């Protein structure tokens, strides 16, 4: 490696002794045949794989950030391609870019959009906080592919990554815009449809199970009766509200930083550049995009990403609660609650024959835990805005886009492989009602709290039901007692004689 910058050469990756065995990317300067080309940037010369579309700045980033196996998500690469595609068209319309070069850039950018060049994006997520390495990765890949389309050689800079592909842009406005665009597309195309399917499945079960009365539980202890359908209606409403929460983040994510360039002032960008590019992006993606109202906010902070992550975390919390409830309700099959029957998807034990576990619900819970953890990282990242730039953009992008993808896939799978196939065990649901000491709650308005509590205590000590003790003590006529202790009546609002009774816990 050669350097032309002062007396100190750039740090060589070989000097880093720690080895990470799970890194699988190809080292810079090495191809399957070992061929390489020599490229130059402002820091000097560096070998690049001869057949790589990326260039010297990407190769330098590969050396500088040998941290993890995590790479820029496909949705983010697509968003970068879209931005470069639209920018080339607008710069041509504005008279700044040669039409032949612009056409080649658009064609190369389209290949990036379509995922045909994904293997040319090897830069680690844990890189420069602005995401400059990833922006230059995109610029170099598109420039070299465009040069190739024009008959030039890779690395020739017939199409220049900075002067042509990055015209009117800065990493500081491109990367935030790409994150917003990628998040919006994935929310609209993947997450919302998946959550709607899950909501539909839960709502259908709420209707199907509405005639089934079972015992309610608070503090994991017996409580007054509830209909199984009512229980599932609560789950459906959680997802319905989650959809609304996610949808409320769309206006904030729809504001793009494009046009702000380095610090938000718009230096080196035509005044109409951002407006035109964003209009093109909105047309292509069908997303509600617009130029940021304040470019200084859009680049110095990423509160929109923190907001979006918060909504995703709330959905994850809802999924965790629902999945855990279904595990408990389906526990057994003989020594648990067993009020519902979960679909059997795979053998559950390597040692216990015939055992079947609630694995789909468990996978949902693990996804929820990951999303909650991602939100913590995004929250910390959102605090890392110093003056005119926030410098944790790549890790915020990775965590947010991963959360969206995980929630979408888990919700779809939860609906398809679990919720839609749930059946109710009506006998098990009915069996516990008469045994519940909480049945005495319906007696409290008529005989008083203290008297009802005494009946419950005696029922517990003697092993009798509340109904049996009340009949034995002749506290009320049998017909009145049967009316008050009707489980179905207890699942609906209302009073027996207009006199309210207290309940708690």
User: Are residues 83 and 38 part of one domain?
Assistant: yes
User: Are residues 216 and 335 part of one domain?
Assistant: yes
**Structural domain harbouring 230:** 179-262+293-428
Q: In whole angstroms, give the CA distance from residue 56 to residue 174.
A: 20
Q: Which residues of 217-252 are buried (b: 16+ CB within 10 A; e: fewer)?
A: beeeebbbbbbbbbbbbebbebbbebbebbeebbee
Last residue of a domain, one of 139, 167, 195: 167
- The CATH number linked to 25 is 1.10.275.10
Residue 431, class by beta-carbon neighbours within 10 Å (0-12 exposed, 13-18 middle, 19+ buried)? middle
User: Are residues 417 and 327 part of one domain?
Assistant: yes
- The CATH number linked to 443 is 1.10.40.30
User: Are residues 158 and 19 part of one domain?
Assistant: yes
Last residue of a domain, one of 375, 404, 428: 428
DSSP state of 214: E
Q: What is the pLDDT of residue 499?
A: 58
Residue 306 counted as domain residue: yes
* Tally of structural domains, the chain: 3
User: Are residues 416 and 439 part of one domain?
Assistant: no
Q: In whole angstroms, give the CA distance from residue 437 to residue 457.
A: 8
User: Are residues 371 and 310 part of one domain?
Assistant: yes
Residue 478 counted as domain residue: yes
User: Are residues 446 and 417 part of one domain?
Assistant: no
User: Are residues 377 and 331 part of one domain?
Assistant: yes
Tokens representing 73 are: 């998500």
Q: What is the pLDDT of residue 349?
A: 87
User: Are residues 193 and 78 part of one domain?
Assistant: no
Q: Which residues of 50-80 are buried (b: 16+ CB within 10 A; e: fewer)?
A: bebbbbbbbbbbbbbbbeeeebbbebbbbbb
Last residue of a domain, one of 382, 408, 428: 428
Active-site positions? 219, 349
Residue 505 counted as domain residue: no
Residue 100 counted as domain residue: yes
Q: In whole angstroms, give the CA distance from residue 94 to residue 84.
A: 15
Residue 268 counted as domain residue: no
Residue 502 counted as domain residue: no
**CA 210 from centre of chain:** 32
Q: Is residue 215 helix, strand or coil?
A: strand
Q: In whole angstroms, give the CA distance from residue 281 to residue 183.
A: 14
For every one of its 505 residues, what pLDDT tens digit does the chain have, with 9 covering 90 and above?
343 334 444 444 444 443 333 333 444 444 445 799 999 999 999 999 999 999 999 999 999 999 999 999 999 999 999 999 999 999 999 999 999 999 999 999 999 999 999 999 999 999 999 999 999 999 999 999 999 999 999 999 999 999 999 999 999 999 999 999 999 999 999 999 999 999 999 999 999 999 999 999 999 999 999 999 999 999 999 999 999 999 999 999 999 999 999 999 999 999 999 999 999 999 999 999 999 999 999 999 999 999 999 999 999 999 999 999 999 999 999 999 999 999 999 998 888 888 999 999 999 999 999 999 999 999 999 999 999 999 999 999 999 999 999 999 999 999 999 999 999 999 999 988 988 999 999 999 999 999 999 999 999 999 999 999 999 999 999 999 999 999 999 999 976 555 555 555 6
Residue 316 counted as domain residue: yes
Q: What is the pLDDT of residue 17?
A: 40
- The CATH number linked to 335 is 1.20.200.10
User: Are residues 326 and 195 part of one domain?
Assistant: yes
Q: What is the pLDDT of residue 6?
A: 40
User: Are residues 334 and 244 part of one domain?
Assistant: yes
β-strands 389-390, 385-386 pairing: antiparallel
Q: In whole angstroms, give the CA distance from residue 237 to residue 327.
A: 19
Tokens representing 456 are: 């419950």
Residue 500 counted as domain residue: no
Q: What is the pLDDT of residue 109?
A: 98
User: Are residues 365 and 219 part of one domain?
Assistant: yes
């Amino acid at each position: 490696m050669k350097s032309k910058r002062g007396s100190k050469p750039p740090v060589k990756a070989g000097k880093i002794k720690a080895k990470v065995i799970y890194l699988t990317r190809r080292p810079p300067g090495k191809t399957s045949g070992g061929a390489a080309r020599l490229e130059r940037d402002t820091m000097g010369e560096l070998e690049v794989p001869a057949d790589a579309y990326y260039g010297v700045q990407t190769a330098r980033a590969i050396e500088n950030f040998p941290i993890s196996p995590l790479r820029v998500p496909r949705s983010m690469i697509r968003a970068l391609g879209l931005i470069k595609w639209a920018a080339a068209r607008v710069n041509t319309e504005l008279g700044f870019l040669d039409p032949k070069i612009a056409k080649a850039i658009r064609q190369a950018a389209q290949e990036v959009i379509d995922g045909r060049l994904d293997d040319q994006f090897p830069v680690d997520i844990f890189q420069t906080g602005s995401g400059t390495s990833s922006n230059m990765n995109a610029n170099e890949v598109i420039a070299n592919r465009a040069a190739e389309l024009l008959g030039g050689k890779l690395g020739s800079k017939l199409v220049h990554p900075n002067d042509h592909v990055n015209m009117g842009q800065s990493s500081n406005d491109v990367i935030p815009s790409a994150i917003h665009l990628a998040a919006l597309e994935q929310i609209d195309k993947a997450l919302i449809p998946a959550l709607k399917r899950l909501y539909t499945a839960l709502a259908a079960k709420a209707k199907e199970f509405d005639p089934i009365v079972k015992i309610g539980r608070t503090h994991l202890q017996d409580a007054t009766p509830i209909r199984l359908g009512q229980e599932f209606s609560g789950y459906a409403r959680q997802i319905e509200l989650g959809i609304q929460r996610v949808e409320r983040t769309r206006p904030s994510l729809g504001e793009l930083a494009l046009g702000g360039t380095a610090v938000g002032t718009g230096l080196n960008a035509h005044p109409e550049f951002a407006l035109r590019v964003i209009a093109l992006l909105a047309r292509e993606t069908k997303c509600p995009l617009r130029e940021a109202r304040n470019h200084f906010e859009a680049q110095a902070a990423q509160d929109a990403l923190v907001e979006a992550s918060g909504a995703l975390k709330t959905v994850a919390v809802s999924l965790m609660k629902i999945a855990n409830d279904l595990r408990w309700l389906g526990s057994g099959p003989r020594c648990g609650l067993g009020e519902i029957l979960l679909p059997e998807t795979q053998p559950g034990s390597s040692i216990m024959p015939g055992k079947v576990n609630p694995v789909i619900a468990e996978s949902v819970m693990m996804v929820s835990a990951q999303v909650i953890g991602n939100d913590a990282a995004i929250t910390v990242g959102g605090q890392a805005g110093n003056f005119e730039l926030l410098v944790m953009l790549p890790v915020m992008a990775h965590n947010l886009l991963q959360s969206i993808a995980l929630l979408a896939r888990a919700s779809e799978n939860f609906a398809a492989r679990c919720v839609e196939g749930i059946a109710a065990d009506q006998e098990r649901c009915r069996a516990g009602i008469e045994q519940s000491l909480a049945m005495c709650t319906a007696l409290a308005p008529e005989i008083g709290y203290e008297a009802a509590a005494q009946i419950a205590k005696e029922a517990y000590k003697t092993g009798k039901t509340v109904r049996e003790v009340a009949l034995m003590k002749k506290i009320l006529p049998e017909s009145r007692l049967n009316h008050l202790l009707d489980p179905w009546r207890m699942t609906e609002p209302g009073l027996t004689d207009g006199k309210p009774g207290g309940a708690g816990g």
